[in-house]
Chains A and B, each alone.
Chain A
Amino acid sequence: MKKFVALFLALVMVLSCTAMALADGDLIKVGIINLDPSESGYRQANVKNLTDTFTKENGYDATFVTAPTADKQLEAARGFITAEVDYILVSAAETTGWDEVLQDAKDAGIKVFLFDRMIECDPDLYTAAVVSDMRQEGETAVAWLESLGLDEYKVLHIQGQLGSAAQIGRSDPLTEKIAADEKWTMVREGTGGDSWDPNEARKIAEAAINAKEDFNIVYAENDGMADGVVAALDAAGITHGVDGDVIIMGFDCNKWALEKLLAGEWNYDGQCSPFQANVIDQMIKTLEAGGEIEGLNELNQIISEEKGFDARTITQEDIDAYGL
């Protein structure tokens, strides 16, 4: 029995040594910490974007960890520090609690990149953050609405998970506009809850319709909830979209949602770009060549460029290029 164990251990050691030798070479070692791809179409596209970019052919030896909770993510980060990777990439489940691990990484000479989501810590603890500006997304959407030049803006507002960065960023420009401009009124405000539930959005819209509330704009903070509201409108025979009575607005730019724009059933979809991998790839290549990263703001951020799509101008090419 003992012999077997010894033999087994020896075998494991030999194998792991060969594995390390194989993995070595000129590849850049990267540890990538992300959230679960089943979370949403956004995350699925984000994970795919990273796995497609950080490949062996592209010069990387990348290890991927997808974990939905902060403790598992921190554990993965510690593992990467022990494994002495060159770079760590993080999309954090929670914005706080990272200081210690990031300091350890810095002490070990590992460079950290944040993508998609910010972490609340000293900006010196990470090299750069490639993130979305959620407030910018809200402002773009409200500016688009204003450009329509309607006589009255009567808004049915479906919020996302209350307190999340995406909800606050997308809600604030709208609520501020409604408070400031008397042509704009909030007919009803509801939330899809922690899971951004389309079915809850449908029930809220049903309640508004049953109460004979008069609204001409649906501002839903993601595509799924916009779809839930549309189901309620369809059931009540209220027309929507380009030639309809009610303007439908969503966020995230899922492929199926952009197709509804192209069909004229919806009016607007705001992009939340999951494509940060190329930017980070370029930055790492610059650093490896001995260069400096340029274009960072005071928080070491680079803000992803994000568009808003209008049903009247969207094309099939847009869907293929930006649809998640």
Chain B
Amino acid sequence: MHGKKKWYASLGQLLIPLVAMALLILFNLLRDPGFFSIGLATNSSGNRVLTGNIISIIDSASELAIISMGMTLVTAACGGQDISVGAVGAISGAVFVKVLQAMGSISVGSVLLGLLLCCLATILFKLFNGTLVAVFHIQPMIATLILYSCGRSIAYWINGDATPQLNSPIISTIGMTLPGIPVPTPIFAVILVGLLLVLVFRLTTTQLYTQTVGINQGAARLNGIHPTAVKLLSFALLGVCVSVAAVTGVCRLGQLNHKTLLADIEMDAILAVAIGGNSLGGGRFRLSGSILGAYIIQMLTTTLYAMNVAPVNVKAYKAVVIIIIVIAGSPVVKSKLTALWAKFRTGKSDSIRRKEAD
């Protein structure tokens, strides 16, 4: 019994999202077993690629998964959310496109330079948010509202063109698949960002510091942790996440649209953090929870599309399922369930004891 309890405890906040994911999978299996079939096709560039709903889900959720990771860090350190990720994403996309256009030709080198410069620009914009939050102690939602409302206009200024095009095999390689590898490239972007964050947080004391600042700033300061630095770091890392997601989004279609690049992703990202069982008030966090949340949201969308739900109804259905997941993960329901579980366990052990007594 001791072993089982440990198994349950180690899952912790991931229990609800895992159950939600399992239910979605079960629902799809019952509805249409063919939902999970994976095929092999040859795409227009002549590469062999995997196809199927599962691949679509993992591929399409990439941008959301990447941004959710960054959002988790900001949430944990600052106890609030950055609602400007979509708008600043448009700025990163604009910088990326601008650099490639200025270079004249699109080569591996110019793409890397574009990525680097757009990453730096995004970090700067995020540090602007971070300064307002960490130095001036402005509520994160208010501080990030500024770039939320003007970010897409800034993106337009950078390019001065509503939908600039990038036509190159290198761009479609980043947006679709690498030659010889049948897995969509955006999935590797998620893995890379995930690895980067794991390296930063697991190999150093950053995770402990971030959680400490999120739980109690005063106590953190007394223990020699610099809350401002920790908060700024979380915003800088969010900047890295946003720029990678934006470049992925631009490369998918080979064009930049300031209005639609990463549109409304801030809301989905906050939702992914919440579904993943992380407290939106800051403190303890698990990146895996948020990533799981992102895939749940995308799986839900893909399921609704697969069911061919009428376009006007898609958002309403999505909202209903998400409300159920969020309520199931709420502290009230959680404590009720835990109490019920404990009662069930003791009841069981009581009957075992009685049996032994017999």
A236 touches B260 (CB 8 A): no
Which one of B72-80, B131-139, B194-202, B302-310 is at the A interface? B302-310
Contacts of B173 in A (CB 8 A): none
Residue B105 at the chain A interface, CB threshold 8 Å? no
Contacts of A231 in B (CB 8 A): 175-176, 252-254
A237 touches B41 (CB 8 A): yes
B302 touches A44 (CB 8 A): no
Select one of B249, B259, B305, B311 contacting A39, CB under 8 A. B259
Residue B225 at the chain A interface, CB threshold 8 Å? no
Residue of B nearest to A196 (CB): B260
Contacts of A203 in B (CB 8 A): 56, 60, 301-302, 305
Contacts of A228 in B (CB 8 A): 253
Select one of B44, B51, B53, B260 contacting A234, CB under 8 A. B44
Residue A227 at the chain B interface, CB threshold 8 Å? yes
Contacts of B155 in A (CB 8 A): 38
Count of interface residues, chain B, beta-carbon cutoff 8 Å: 44
B176 touches A235 (CB 8 A): yes
Residue of A nearest to B305 (CB): A207
B53 touches A207 (CB 8 A): yes
Contacts of A206 in B (CB 8 A): 56, 60, 305
Select one of B41, B49, B249, B255 contacting A227, CB under 8 A. B255
Select one of A36, A193, A211, A239 contacting B306, CB under 8 A. A211
Residue of A nearest to B298 (CB): A203
Contacts of B177 in A (CB 8 A): 235
Select one of A36, A202, A224 contacting B163, CB under 8 A. A224
What 1/0 flags go to B142-185 for Cβ under 8 Å of A?
00000000001101100001110100000010011100000010
What 1/0 flags go to A26-60 for Cβ under 8 Å of B?
00000000001111110110000000000000000
Residue B113 at the chain A interface, CB threshold 8 Å? no
Contacts of A235 in B (CB 8 A): 43-44, 49, 51, 176-177, 184
Contacts of B254 in A (CB 8 A): 231
What 1/0 flags go to B289-309 for Cβ under 8 Å of A?
000000000000110011010
Within 8 A of B (CB), among A5-40: 36-40
B249 touches A195 (CB 8 A): no
Cα A39 to Cα B184 in complex, Å, equals: 30
B116 CB to nearest A CB, Å: 25
Residue A159 at the chain B interface, CB threshold 8 Å? yes
Residue B263 at the chain A interface, CB threshold 8 Å? yes
Residue A191 at the chain B interface, CB threshold 8 Å? yes
Interface residue SS majority, chain B:
mixed
Residue A177 at the chain B interface, CB threshold 8 Å? no
- With A41-B162, A190-B311, A203-B301: A236-B51 Cβ-Cβ less than 8 Å: yes
Residue A304 at the chain B interface, CB threshold 8 Å? no
Cα A283 to Cα B88 in complex, Å, equals: 43
A237 touches B259 (CB 8 A): no
Residue B126 at the chain A interface, CB threshold 8 Å? no
Residue B312 at the chain A interface, CB threshold 8 Å? yes
A171 CB to nearest B CB, Å: 10
Residue of B nearest to A254 (CB): B163
Contacts of A204 in B (CB 8 A): 305
Residue B33 at the chain A interface, CB threshold 8 Å? no
Residue A138 at the chain B interface, CB threshold 8 Å? no
Cα A159 to Cα B312 in complex, Å, equals: 11
Cα A195 to Cα B263 in complex, Å, equals: 8
Residue A142 at the chain B interface, CB threshold 8 Å? no
Residue of B nearest to A38 (CB): B156
Contacts of B153 in A (CB 8 A): 36, 38
B11 CB to nearest A CB, Å: 30
B259 touches A40 (CB 8 A): yes
What 1/0 flags go to B53-66 for Cβ under 8 Å of A?
10010001000000
A294 CB to nearest B CB, Å: 35
Residue B281 at the chain A interface, CB threshold 8 Å? no
B156 touches A210 (CB 8 A): no
A93 CB to nearest B CB, Å: 15
A210 touches B53 (CB 8 A): yes
Residue A107 at the chain B interface, CB threshold 8 Å? no
Cα A254 to Cα B253 in complex, Å, equals: 15
Contacts of A211 in B (CB 8 A): 306, 308
Select one of B60, B152, B165, B302 contacting A256, CB under 8 A. B165
Select one of A199, A202, A237 contacting B44, CB under 8 A. A237
Residue of B nearest to A228 (CB): B253
B257 touches A198 (CB 8 A): yes
Residue of B nearest to A212 (CB): B34
Residue A139 at the chain B interface, CB threshold 8 Å? no
B41 touches A199 (CB 8 A): no
A38 touches B162 (CB 8 A): yes
Within 8 A of A (CB), among B22-49: 41-45, 49
Contacts of A190 in B (CB 8 A): 305, 311
Residue A296 at the chain B interface, CB threshold 8 Å? no
Contacts of B45 in A (CB 8 A): 234
Residue B258 at the chain A interface, CB threshold 8 Å? yes
Since A188-B308, A235-B43, A256-B163 are in contact, a sample of 10 more A-B pairs with Cβ atoms closer than 8 Å, ordered by chain A residue number, is A37-B156, A37-B162, A38-B162, A231-B254, A234-B44, A234-B45, A234-B172, A235-B184, A237-B49, A256-B165
Q: Report which B residues bind A (CB closer than 8 A).
A: 41-45, 49, 51-53, 56, 60, 152-153, 155-156, 161-163, 165, 172, 175-177, 184, 249, 252-255, 257-260, 263-264, 301-302, 305-306, 308, 310-312, 314
Interface CB pairs A-B, < 8 A, 16: A38-B155, A38-B259, A44-B161, A159-B311, A190-B305, A191-B311, A195-B259, A198-B253, A198-B260, A199-B253, A203-B56, A206-B60, A234-B45, A235-B49, A235-B184, A254-B163
Nearest 4 CB-CB pairs, A to B? A38-B156, A207-B305, A191-B311, A234-B44
